[in-house]
Structure 1
Amino acid sequence: MVSVRLSAVKKISCALALGSALFAAATSAQAADNFWQAIQQKGVLRCGAAPAAPYVMRDPKTQQYSGYFAELCRDFGENVLKVKVQFVDASWDTLVAGLQSDKWDLAMALNQTPERALAIGFSTPAQDYQISFLINKQNPKVKGLGTKLADYDKPEVTFAVMSGTAQDKALSASIKKGKIMRLPGNDESRLALMARRADVLVDASDTNHLFALANPDWAQEIMPAPALAKQGVSFGLPRAVSEADVEVLNIYLTQRRATGDIDRLVNQASAQANAAK
């Protein structure tokens, strides 16, 4: 009789445990399916912010955030979700971990990589990260060459690049005829271009874009084809967020990109960054 009772108690305990697990799973799934709704109920969208111009910038005096990803996060929160927007200080080392530990709802300006995609979700890209060329448009060796990578890969053309960077790796794999001048930093590579010791400066497109805007009289940015490297720059989201909720953000970004709004924000942020310098 005692063993029968104990067996029944065990069955009841197992049933309760299974029921609790199913309830927790259902609750978690419901939360994942109502990501934006939960934020609307809280009344605040938290944006993880790691400064890097022109994506995200912070005024050292006022501590106010700007940059085109900051403007997109602010606009999405205020005008789509109808909530307040809170920027949470972060670093590039903590943006992914902060999403996983619920320190912020969105991580701004993350490059899409397979490794990150194992841990978090991504929106559609707001912009593309690409390695670009910067040239002196008055230099006869490269003037009017267009965008084809092969047109620049000539024995008489010298490329300046920071040694050991992703740009150096990509350039080294693609350039077969041209000379590669590897330098220790940004300043040295830019000076090499300005002094015409190099004909092409190879760097991330956002960095070259800033420099081209600051020197419109002579500097020209070129997006080589085929691309040396290209990744989407997106918002990071918790991995459990449903496809339906991710699609809300994707539609917002797609529309703003298609109308040229994001390009205008990039130029505005770039001009602001140059003015600050």
Structure 2
Amino acid sequence: MAQSSRSIRRALACLAFAGLAVAQTPARAEDTGAWQSVKKAGVLRCGAAVAPPYVMRDPKTGEYSGFFSDLCRNFGQNVLKVKVEFVDTTWDNIVAGLQSDKWDVSMALNQTPEREKAVSFSAPATDYNVSFVYNKHNPKVPQGAHAIADIDKPGVTVAVMSGTAQDKVISATFKQARIMRLPGNDETRLALMSKRADLLADANITNMLLTEAHPDWAATVQPTPPLAQQQVAFAVRKETPAADIALLNDYVGAQVKSGAVDKLIKTSVQAMLVANK
């Protein structure tokens, strides 16, 4: 009888321990969530590759602006209640750096099938397509061009930021023109303005900044139909829990629905135009 009582007590103890382990499992899973880890660290790290007006960086102060920078800053400060740190990177490394935990979110990524294999995306903040800015006095580019065939010709050079969505698009689309891949936005603009390149391939919003800042010479080829119509969003690591992505989606969706994103875009565009004067 005593042996039986001891057996019962041991069994109850095992059950109690198992129950405790089960009860603690959700807490451990929550602790390993992306935003829970960010809260523990006290900082949200935003991977930042420059692409005005999405992401801009003041070369003198190092401060970040642009509407995606503002969205990331607001999400960290107002939703997660943490500090926000911008981590400088390039478009060639924007996905790899996220995968290797150098930052928590990547800003302003085009949602492409190739990238969807490597990272997960938030709800889109805005749309994107590729346009081409050129000097309207350049005889190589016909006035009123609206088809790729009008500009994809031998002897034509197209400048583009290396590793960007537009780089991949024109690499697959252009067959005759020469593609000049450069590391950043400043370098591509300089190539066009110095006439080393005949066209600058970039996001439609980014190119709008250039044409509005230089109406005396800059014009745009906007392909018909739109080239590479895509959505632009935040990216997070592939293993990010669905609940964490849902929280980010709720935030982005609310910003879009309220018109806050449109206001941020206009503010970023105006700031860029003032800076270029």
- Short-chain TM bin: 0.5 to 0.7
Q: Which residue of 1 aligns with 2:46?
A: 47
Shift of residue 170 of structure 1? 6.7
Code of the residue aligned with 1:56 in structure 2: it is V
CA deviation string 1:45-70 (max 9, x = no partner): 11122223222222222221111111
Code of the residue aligned with 1:231 in structure 2: it is Q
Q: Which residue of 1 aligns with 2:244?
A: 245
Structure 2 Cα separation of the partners of residues 36 and 103 of structure 1: 15
Cα 1:81–1:221 change in 2 (3 A) is farther
Q: Which residue of 1 aligns with 2:212?
A: 213
8 A contact 1:48–1:108 mirrored in 2: yes
- CA RMSD after TM alignment: 4.4
Code of the residue aligned with 1:213 in structure 2: it is E
Q: Which residue of 1 aligns with 2:114?
A: 115
8 A contact 1:162–1:168 mirrored in 2: no
Cα 1:95–1:271 change in 2 (3 A) is same
Q: Helix, strand or coil for the counterpart of 1:229?
A: strand
How is 1:1-277 mapped onto 2 (pairs within 5 angstroms)?
29-31=29-31, 34-132=33-131, 162=159, 168=170, 203-205=201-203, 206-215=205-214, 224-277=223-276
Gapped regions of structure 1 (runs ≥ 5): 1-21, 154-158, 174-179, 193-197
Count matched residues: 242
Structure 1 Cα separation of the partners of residues 27 and 95 of structure 2: 24
Q: Which residue of 2 aligns with 1:177?
A: none
Cα 1:35–1:86 change in 2 (3 A) is same
Cα 1:181–1:264 change in 2 (3 A) is farther
8 A contact 2:95–2:106 mirrored in 1: yes
Code of the residue aligned with 2:83 in structure 1: it is K
8 A contact 2:255–2:261 mirrored in 1: yes
TM (norm. structure 1) is 0.64
Shift of residue 166 of structure 1? 5.0
CA deviation string 1:156-200 (max 9, x = no partner): xxx995599556557658xxxxxx9878696676799xxxxx9xx
Q: Which residue of 2 aligns with 1:176?
A: none
Shift of residue 85 of structure 1? 0.9
Code of the residue aligned with 1:98 in structure 2: it is G
Q: Helix, strand or coil for the counterpart of 2:227?
A: coil
Shift of residue 221 of structure 1? 6.0
Between stretches 84-93 and 61-70, larger displacement belongs to 84-93
Shift of residue 71 of structure 1? 0.6
Structure 2 Cα separation of the partners of residues 106 and 248 of structure 1: 13
